[in-house]
Structure 1
Amino acid sequence: MTLPTSVEGVSGSRRWARSVGIGRAHAKAILLGEHAVVYGAPALALPIPQLTVTATAGWSSHASDGEDDLSYTMTGSPSRALVTQASDSLRRLVDAFKESLGVPGGPHLDVILDGGVPPGRGLGSSAATSRAIVLALADLFGRELTENRAFELVQTAENMAHGRASGVDARAVGSPGPLRFQAGEVRQLSIGCDGLFLVADSGTSGSTKEAVEMLRDSFHARSGAQDAFVGRATELTEAAEQALADGRTEELGARLVDYHELMRTAGLSTDRIDAMVGAALDAGSLGAKITGGGLGGCVIALTQPEQAREVTRRLHEAGAAQTWAVPLKGLDKHAV
C-alpha cells in the first residue's frame, strides 16, 4: 500500500497507510580494515545477529505546532546526553527520509527505540539505530525501500554522527552474512573456517570521530604515514580474507594479532583493550584484536569452541563487561 498523493481534507489516522511501523537492524564487528577503509582499503565485517535494535514509529494524539512534531523515547536507562544527541540525529534523519521519498508532513510522530547494541563500542550502534528507524518509517508510511536507498539514508546519518564515514557500518548492520567492503562495493565472504568469534566489551566507550581525527592528524604530521598504514592494513585484510576462505584458522588468527599491533602502534588501543587481547591469547585464542574505531570499545577473538569457556573467563578477568559468541559455522549459508 502507498500513501495518498494528497492528505488535504483527510483527518485522523485514515490519512496514513499504517498506524504503526516497525524496523529492525543488528550489530556488526569489523574483523580487519578499521580506519584504512576510509582511504579506500578493504574491510571485513561480521554481523552480530543476537544484538539487535528495534524501532517503532507511530502517530500520537499530541497536537503538532509545526516546531515540535516529533517525540523520541529510548528504553532502558540512557544518559540525558545520549538521548539529546539521538533526538537531534533523529530529526535530521526523519527530514532526510521525507525529502528522499517525497513524504508529506503529518501529525505528531512518536518513535520508540529498543536498543540492544551498546553505544560507543565499535559495534555499529548508530548505524543500526538509523537503519531500524528508516525501516520503521518506511513501514509506517507504506513506502517500498530499496537496499541502496536504505543505505544512502543511513550513510547520511553516519556522516553527520562521525564525520567522513566509510559506509561499511551502514552496509553491515543490514547484512545477513559476513561481507567485504571496499570503496562502496560489497560482496559476501566465503567461509571455510570452523570456530567462533568472541566479542568482548571493555566497558569503555570510544569515539570513532575522535579516533578518525587523531589518525588523520598523525598522517599529516609524518610524511608517508598514511600510505604505510593503509598499505599494511590492505595486506593484512587481504591475507585474512584468503585464510578465512581456505580454512586456515591459525593464519587468520595471526593476521588479527598483526592488525591489533597496527592499531596499537597508531595509538588507537587502550591499556584495558591490550590486557584483554593478551588474556584471550594466553587462554588459547588463535588471534585477537581491537575492533571498531578504537580509544575504547571491544575486542574480537578467534577461538575454537572447546576453548571458548576459558577464553571468556579470562576476558572477564581482564576487564570485559560482557561477551557474545558468534559462530562461524553456517554464516556463509545466510550471506546475501
Structure 2
Amino acid sequence: MSEIHRARSVGIGRAHAKAILLGEHAVVYGAPALALPVPQLTVTASAGWSSRSADSQSDLSYTMTGSPSRAMVTQASDGLRRLTEEFKARLGVTGRPHLDVILDGAIPHGRGLGSSAASSRAIAFALADLFGRELSEATAFELVQTAENMAHGRASGVDAMTVGALRPLLFQAGRTRELRLGCDGLFIVADSGELGSTKEAVELLRDGFRRRPGAQERFVGRATELTEGARQALADGRPEELGSRMTDYHSLMQAARLSTGLIDTLVDAALRAGSLGAKITGGGLGGCLIALAPPQRAREVTRRLHEAGAVQTWVVPLKGLDNHAA
C-alpha cells in the first residue's frame, strides 16, 4: 500500500435530495427540465480503512443505516463497487486496501428524490477526502453517472447535477445553468409512501412510443412547451402561471400512465387546499408529488396532504434558493 498515504483515518462526503419541477422523461429526449435542490434532505457518507485482510473476497464493505431492503442494498452495492473502481482509475489510486463505507441519509429511497445519485456523490467525496484527492465537479458528475447508469439504465444526468447544486437548474442536452427566480412561495414535497421505479417507467413510456406513431413527438413537444412556460413564469414572477404549468404537466404524466391513484388523490388534495399547482415528481409509478403553495396556504396544504395519505412532507422555500442567475 505504498501509494496510499493514510493522512486521514476517515473521509466524509455529503449531498442532498432533488425534485424535478418539470421535464421528467422528456429530458432524456433532448427537452429541457427544471430541477430543484432539496437541501432539507441530506445524506452523509463516511469511508474508512477496514481491518479485514486484503485477500478477502471483496475489498469493499458497504453499510446503509435504517432498514433498507436486501434488493436495494444489493443494487446500491453494485453501483458503489463500480463507482469505487472508476474513482481509483481516474484519480490514480493503486493498491487494494479494504474499505468500509457507511451511508447515513434522510432521503427516502425509490421516491424520485435522487437518493441513489445523492448517495453516490456523497461516497465519491468521502473517498476523495479519505485518499487526499481533489475531486472536480466534472469528475464527480461522471462518477455519479457511472453508478446512475447501472441503477436506472440510461440516466439523463439531471439527478447527478442537482444533488450537488445550490440553486435551481435548467438542464437540457447535457448542459445546465442556474434559473432566475422572480417568484416567492413554497414548494411542498409530499411522499406517497409508494415505491416508484424510474427504470420501469422509462420502459413503459418507450413501449408506448413504439406502439403509437407520433406519440414520442407529441409527448416531448408538449413537455417542452410546458417546461419553457414554467421557466419564464418562474423568472418573471408569475406564480399562478407556474402552478398552472405544473398541473398541466401532471396531466401529461397521467396520460402516459406514469402516475398512480394515490398520487392523483394527493394532487387533487393539494389543489383543493389552495396550491397554485401540483404534480408528480420524478420517474413516476409511485414516489412523490410537488406542490406550489402561497405562504399563507402552506400549513393547510400540508395538513390536507397528510389527511389524503401522504406519509411525509417537506417544505422548500423559493426565497431560500434565490439568486441572480440569468
Within 2, Cα distance between the matches of 1:304 and 1:86?
Answer: 38
Within 1, Cα distance between the matches of 2:206 and 2:95?
Answer: 40
Within 2, Cα distance between the matches of 1:177 and 1:37?
Answer: 19
- Residue in structure 2 matching 1:108, options 94, 98, 123: 98
Q: Corresponding residue for 2:274?
A: 284
Distance 1:334 1:192, change over 3 A: closer
Structure 2 counterpart of 1:286, one-letter code: L
Structure 2 counterpart of 1:173, one-letter code: V
Give yes or no for contact 2:15–2:42 (8 Å, CA) kept in 1. Answer: yes
The alpha carbon displacement at 1:105 in A equals 2.4
The size of the alignment, in residue pairs, is 326
Within 1, Cα distance between the matches of 2:297 and 2:220?
Answer: 33
Structure 2 counterpart of 1:215, one-letter code: L
Within 2, Cα distance between the matches of 1:296 and 1:302?
Answer: 19
Give yes or no for contact 1:28–1:48 (8 Å, CA) kept in 2. Answer: yes
Structure 1 counterpart of 2:40, one-letter code: Q
Structure 1 counterpart of 2:31, one-letter code: A
SS at match of 2:229: helix
Establish whether residue 42 from structure 1 lines up as the match of residue 24 from structure 2.
no
- Residue in structure 2 matching 1:86, options 73, 76, 83: 76
The alpha carbon displacement at 1:252 in A equals 0.4
Q: Aligned runs of 1:178-217 on 2, under 5 Å? A: 178-217=168-207
Q: Corresponding residue for 2:21?
A: 31
The alpha carbon displacement at 1:86 in A equals 1.5
Within 2, Cα distance between the matches of 1:58 and 1:142?
Answer: 12
Structure 2 counterpart of 1:322, one-letter code: Q
Q: Corresponding residue for 1:145?
A: 135
Distance 1:173 1:80, change over 3 A: same
Q: Corresponding residue for 1:256?
A: 246
The alpha carbon displacement at 1:117 in A equals 0.6
Q: TM-score, normalised by structure 1?
A: 0.94
Establish whether residue 76 from structure 1 lines up as the match of residue 69 from structure 2.
no
Q: Encode CA deviations 1:261-283: one digit per residue, 9 max, x unaligned.
A: 00000000000000000000000
Structure 2 counterpart of 1:103, one-letter code: V
The alpha carbon displacement at 1:330 in A equals 3.2
Within 1, Cα distance between the matches of 2:95 and 2:209?
Answer: 45
The alpha carbon displacement at 1:67 in A equals 2.7
Give yes or no for contact 1:55–1:114 (8 Å, CA) kept in 2. Answer: yes
Give yes or no for contact 1:211–1:293 (8 Å, CA) kept in 2. Answer: yes
SS at match of 1:51: strand
Q: Corresponding residue for 1:222?
A: 212
Distance 1:211 1:33, change over 3 A: same
Give yes or no for contact 1:189–1:332 (8 Å, CA) kept in 2. Answer: no
Q: Corresponding residue for 1:165?
A: 155
SS at match of 2:155: coil
The alpha carbon displacement at 1:334 in A equals 8.7
Q: Aligned runs of 1:107-146 on 2, under 5 Å? A: 107-146=97-136
Distance 1:334 1:191, change over 3 A: closer
Establish whether residue 235 from structure 1 lines up as the match of residue 225 from structure 2.
yes
Within 2, Cα distance between the matches of 1:137 and 1:42?
Answer: 32
The alpha carbon displacement at 1:79 in A equals 1.8
Structure 2 alignment gaps of length 5 or more: none
Within 1, Cα distance between the matches of 2:190 and 2:218?
Answer: 29
The alpha carbon displacement at 1:93 in A equals 1.2
Q: TM-score, normalised by structure 2?
A: 0.97
**Percent of aligned positions that are identical:** 76
Give yes or no for contact 1:205–1:296 (8 Å, CA) kept in 2. Answer: yes
Within 2, Cα distance between the matches of 1:332 and 1:231?
Answer: 29
Structure 1 alignment gaps of length 5 or more: 1-6
Give yes or no for contact 1:178–1:335 (8 Å, CA) kept in 2. Answer: no
Out of 151-160 and 77-86, give the one that drifted further.
Answer: 77-86
Q: Corresponding residue for 1:244?
A: 234
The alpha carbon displacement at 1:66 in A equals 5.2
Q: Encode CA deviations 1:183-231: one digit per residue, 9 max, x unaligned.
A: 1100000001011000000000100000001100100111110000000
Distance 1:219 1:81, change over 3 A: same
Within 2, Cα distance between the matches of 1:272 and 1:218?
Answer: 22
Out of 272-281 and 154-163, give the one that drifted further.
Answer: 154-163
Q: Corresponding residue for 1:305?
A: 295
